[in-house]
Amino acid sequence: MEDRPSQPQRHRFRKSNSVNRIYLDHNATSPILPRVREGLLELLDSHHWGNPSSLHEDGRHARKILEEARDRVAFALHVEPSEIVFTSGGTESNNLAITGLVTDDSSISTSTVEHPSVLEPVKKQHQLGRSGSLIPVDPSGRLELDQVPDKGLVSIQWINNETGICQDLDLIGEAVHRSGGKLHSDGAQGFFREPIHLGNSNLDSASITSHKSGGPSGVGALWVRKGLLHQPSTHGGPQEKKIRPGTENLLAIHGMGLLAESFSSDQPWNRERLKECRNQFANALSELPNHQIIQQSDRDWPGCINVSLSGIHAETLLVRLDMVGISASSGSACSSGAREPSHVLKAMGIADKDIRGSIRISLGPDTTIDHMQQTARHLTTIVTELRQKSAGQPPVL
């Protein structure tokens, strides 16, 4: 008789030393806001664990929590609660929109700088024979508006996760709607950071996620105007009007509702403060040779800085930054294991040699000017040392 495997060792959580670190990876995940955390703990301590589909008192209480969260999300986005479908996050919402908003003969198009959760399912539909196009961007990362299709489904990201470049969804929507097309947007990097009146926008559908803006992970939503969703992508239950069947993640949904409430009242993401942090970082880095920061306009998201450092491998740089207590990334967290140069930067015409040394610094509600100045100083020291080592010169002591 074979020996039974030993019980897997339980991970022992230790208190994070994040108080001594500088966290600059908010576009991947932003720490839960204090107000949201307090509300999650309150629900955990309340012992209300009914299934929202159950008819007994515990189930009715769970249903009330669920619908209150839906109301909060709808209020923050200026839409009807009935138009909000809760999902597991942005990726599921994007896939649900791409499969559910098209008719049998309609096309699907998207841009060359989209998140993989849009690009991959759209490319899959093209491989299966559905028509459509990949819309190019100009060197600034903005859509070539004269190449936007005016038919079928078009999915365009609101704020790019690697560059912070913001697309003009109203203008794009006008182009798409000329012949009855529909416009969907992946808004993972925008919702609950930037104000938007979805109900008055030129969008027909939008994907929403929680953890990019200070809510729990594993929860998101799809907003769709009434009557536009043709078919669900999964089947098996009556939840969420049969659009997204399966027992709802009540705790996470409650947290997303609290995030929406915090956004409506507190506005924790202050655009002007983030812009000042970005400017101070750029100034502090100005004396470092051979670096380039992707330029933004006033409409773009200032909390995302993409900086290219010639002659440096991004992975080496990120490890060195991590060693001095700074968390940053080299692009999308969903594709950080990929060895290929960023498809976003390639689409903007940036050379591979510059892309390889490109890192993303993304700011959040707790980022300070001092954080950015410290990061610039460490970055200057590390890059100078790596370049000297590569050139065979002794480091400056």
- Residues annotated as catalytic are 334
Q: Pairing mode, if any, of strands 220-224 and 84-87?
A: antiparallel
Distances (CA, A) of 8 to 11, 51, 56, 108: 9, 30, 37, 46
Q: Would you call 15 exposed, middle or buried from its count of C-beta atoms within 10 A (0-12, 13-18, 19+)?
A: exposed
Looking at residue 206, what DSSP letter applies? E
Q: Which residues contact 258 (CB under 8 A, 6 or more apart)?
A: 35, 36, 39, 40, 69, 72, 215
Q: Pairing mode, if any, of strands 358-362 and 304-309?
A: antiparallel
CA atoms of 163 and 140, how far apart (whole Å)? 10
Q: What share of the chain is helix, strand, coil (3-state, %, to 5)?
A: 40, 15, 50
Cα angle 81, 177, 228 (rounded to 5 degrees) comes to 35
CA atoms of 190 and 252, how far apart (whole Å)? 19
The total of other beta-carbon atoms located within 10 Å of residue 363's CB is 28
Spatial contact of 276 and 263, defined as CB atoms under 8 Å apart: no
Looking at residue 221, what DSSP letter applies? E
Structure tokens at 223: 């907003």
CA atoms of 231 and 50, how far apart (whole Å)? 29
CA atoms of 394 and 372, how far apart (whole Å)? 28
